Amino acid sequence: MDDDARAASDGVVAPGAVADPSPAAPGGSSQPYLEVDSVSIEFRSAAAGPAGRISVLEELSFSLDRGEFCCIVGPSGCGKSTSLRIIDGLEPASGGQVRVDSQVVTAPRPDIAFVFQQFNLLPWRTLLDNVAFGLDNLRLPRAEREERARRWLDTVGLTDFAGYYPSQVSGGMQQRVGLARALAVEPRLLLMDEPFGAVDAQTRMLLQNELLRLWEADQKTVIFVTHDIEEALFLANRVLIMGPRPSRVLREIEVPFGYPREDHIRGDARFAALKDEIWTELKAAMTAVPPAAEAER
């Protein structure tokens, strides 16, 4: 097994590594773009006692229209990351189903891209080659792969670092490369699992602004998992609050700020009130049950 194949097997997922999904039904339907319909999942666990299984998600349901930016917040261990993996087709649900463009998701598909918590860059590849990695399975001519990778590196402001290796750049720059790699495959749905959690506060705010700039350019549908309530309110047009496991959506909050978003809204009284409201809901849910017994999947 070569290094790139081994990386893929270790969780560095190359979007587009599976065949294209069947064409969507003709337009004109008012059906949501994404439907998470009564999704449940259980895992085997020695900590679960005689039953030997632990329920992580139970009847999780929500839907999104095309172009929405949705953030999910919830307690640690409630299954936020697991829900993204199910939506992506990386993890089979125990019950319920996910539909994208009216088609049931059963495996990873090239119109969905995933940005993980870790940077997941290949240390033996340059930044340019890391962005191109996600394109390797799209059967594009080599020149087109390189052109597209360079274009996305330029979009995230890293043109001058194309020949650098991950160990030679900062964490914020590495996360920009991860974002460029996901966007280079031109997905319709972008799943982001706490992508800015490993960078410092100042870099995090800059990356939030950068992400919104990119999203506003083509308005892909985005689901962004975060523990940071302020981050969720700054980015999203809708925030989903998940409860402790077995988890479901406790509440949906429509964010009353339009786009483009400016940093000054963080000081808006309505922003502060919503932040307190979400924290009050989360705190009540978290203190109503014992702490999670094991780490989030």
Give the predicted TM-score (pTM) of the model: 0.82
Per-residue pLDDT reduced to its tens digit, 32-48? 999 999 999 988 765 65
Cα 211 to Cα 165, 173, 234, 236, 265: the distances in Å are: 23, 13, 11, 11, 17
Per-residue pLDDT reduced to its tens digit, 159-185? 999 999 999 999 889 988 998 999 888
Per-residue pLDDT reduced to its tens digit, 59-112? 999 999 999 999 999 998 888 999 999 999 999 999 999 999 999 999 998 899
Burial category of 24 from C-beta neighbours within 10 Å (exposed 0-12, middle 13-18, buried 19 and up): middle
Whether pLDDT at 19 is above 70: no
Mean pLDDT score across all residues of the chain: 84
The residue whose two tokens read 């790139």 is 4
Per-residue pLDDT reduced to its tens digit, 101-159? 999 999 998 899 998 877 788 999 999 999 998 787 777 888 888 999 999 999 888 99
pLDDT attached to residue 3: 52
- Domains of the chain and any CATH numbers: 67-91+106-287 (3.40.50.300)
Percent of the chain exceeding pLDDT 90 equals 56
Q: How far apart are CA 25 and CA 215, in angstroms?
A: 25
Q: How far apart are CA 134 and CA 177, in angstroms?
A: 11
Higher pLDDT, 229 or 45: 229
pLDDT attached to residue 280: 94
